[in-house]
């Protein structure tokens, strides 16, 4: 069967998403495509969660501005550089700076941070995941040396997007930001949470087709997990099998895409990340944030936030990956154009 052609049909997508009948063949095809392009290499991104202050009130997110129970923190430039140093010494050649939308980190200050990281680690890739900004701000981040940008679109269906976000947030702006990022030259990532409240199978079908059309270099897909101090606290978590199916579908539709097996997947299922790799994922994002702050960046309940030193965590990850026949790569892991 020509999987690509099959998956570009809405009716087929709907059927494939809702049954386990095709899983074996779907995952095998996705896995073969991933290894044909990226071999058995898994790329590592060292995640630095540098602030949990956020001006937004996304209903699903544990660090949204209305959650008064969160102990807020910000890392200093020195602390951020220290995380990079630890990562670099472990052979991690790609860092992700992720945080809430925190005005304390002005454009000027972010530019200073980006330049400091890129001056010290010129061979390492730097990804930003700091939300929605103007074209000019994104351009300044890019010109300062940032290589990649992650901004999940969350849902391309207006009605659904509006059920996840307060009135002052707009799907139009989010999608415009993604276009701007790509135009500026970032390796750009969009994505969704699987099983986010009120999401329908039709929404997922439309998101898959939106992502196919947008043709990003990275896609972040993980299950929604409820957080006890949000208004979605009683909403059910997303499904692991459905997440795996969507990962496999995106790998088949966009063969070169960089696709993480997310922490959320590993949180809902102990073997989630291995299963993600078997469904075509080729990226892992171990945490480089300081141990003292890791438990404060809780987007959802029970997030994997071990007290392990990064070095210990990475050596376990290496063992795990080699036990399933893959190998952790020591390079930046750029998109293959």
Residues contributing to the site for ligand SAM (CB under 6 A): 60-61, 98, 100-101, 129-131, 151-152, 154, 193, 222, 224-225, 227, 264, 299-300
CB of 101 to ligand SAM, least distance (A): 5
For 108, counting Cβ atoms within 10 Å of its Cβ (0-12 exposed, 13-18 middle, 19+ buried), the class is exposed
Strands 41-44 and 94-99: unpaired
CB of 153 to ligand SAM, least distance (A): 9
Token digits of residue 306 = 């071990």
> What's the rounded Cα separation, in Å, for the pair 244 and 231?
27
Nearest to ligand SAM of 124, 226 (CB atom) = 226
Nearest to ligand SAM of 147, 154 (CB atom) = 154
> What's the rounded Cα separation, in Å, for the pair 203 and 156?
8
CB of 300 to ligand SAM, least distance (A): 4
Nearest to ligand SAM of 33, 225 (CB atom) = 225
Q: What is the spatial order of strands in the sheet that 283-284 belongs to? A: 283-284, 41-44, 327-328
Nearest to ligand SAM of 197, 328 (CB atom) = 197
**Of all residues in the chain, what percent are helix, strand and coil, respectively (each to 5)?**
45, 15, 45
Cα distances (angstroms) measured from residue 276 to each of 102, 125, 212, 231, 265:
31, 23, 19, 29, 8
CB of 100 to ligand SAM, least distance (A): 5
CB of 79 to ligand SAM, least distance (A): 18
CB of 327 to ligand SAM, least distance (A): 28
> What's the rounded Cα separation, in Å, for the pair 85 and 110?
18
Nearest to ligand SAM of 31, 303 (CB atom) = 303
Nearest to ligand SAM of 157, 329 (CB atom) = 157
């Amino acid at each position: 069967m020509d999987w690509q052609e099959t998956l570009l049909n809405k009716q087929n997508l709907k059927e494939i998403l809702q049954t386990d009948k095709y899983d074996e063949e779907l995952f095998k095809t996705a896995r073969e495509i991933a290894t044909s392009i990226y071999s058995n290499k898994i790329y590592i991104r060292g995640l630095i969660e540098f602030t949990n202050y956020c001006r937004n009130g996304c209903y699903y997110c544990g660090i949204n501005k209305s959650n008064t129970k969160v102990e807020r923190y910000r890392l200093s430039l020195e602390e951020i550089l220290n995380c990079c140093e630890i990562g670099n010494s472990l052979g991690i050649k790609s860092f992700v700076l992720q945080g809430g939308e925190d005005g304390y980190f002005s454009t000027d200050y972010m530019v200073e941070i980006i330049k400091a990281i890129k001056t010290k680690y010129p061979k390492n890739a730097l990804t930003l995941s700091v939300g929605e900004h103007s074209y000019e701000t994104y351009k300044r981040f890019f010109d300062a040396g940032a290589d990649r940008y992650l901004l999940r679109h969350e849902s391309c269906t207006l009605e659904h997007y509006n059920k996840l976000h307060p009135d002052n947030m707009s799907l139009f702006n989010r999608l415009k930001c993604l276009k701007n990022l790509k135009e500026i030259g970032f390796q750009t990532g969009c994505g969704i949470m699987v099983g986010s409240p009120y999401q329908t199978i039709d929404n997922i079908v439309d998101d898959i087709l939106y992502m196919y059309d947008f043709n990003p270099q990275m896609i972040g897909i993980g299950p929604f997990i409820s957080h006890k101090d949000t208004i979605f606290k009683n909403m059910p978590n997303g499904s692991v099998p459905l997440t795996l199916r969507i990962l496999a579908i995106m790998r088949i539709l966009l063969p070169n895409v960089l696709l993480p097996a997310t922490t959320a997947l590993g949180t809902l299922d102990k073997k989630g990340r291995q299963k993600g790799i078997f469904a075509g994922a080729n990226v892992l994002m171990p945490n480089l944030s300081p141990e003292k702050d890791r438990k404060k960046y809780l987007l959802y309940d029970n997030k994997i936030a071990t007290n392990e030193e990064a070095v210990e965590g990475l050596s376990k990850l290496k063992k795990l990956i080699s036990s399933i026949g893959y190998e952790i790569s020591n390079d930046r892991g750029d998109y293959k154009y």
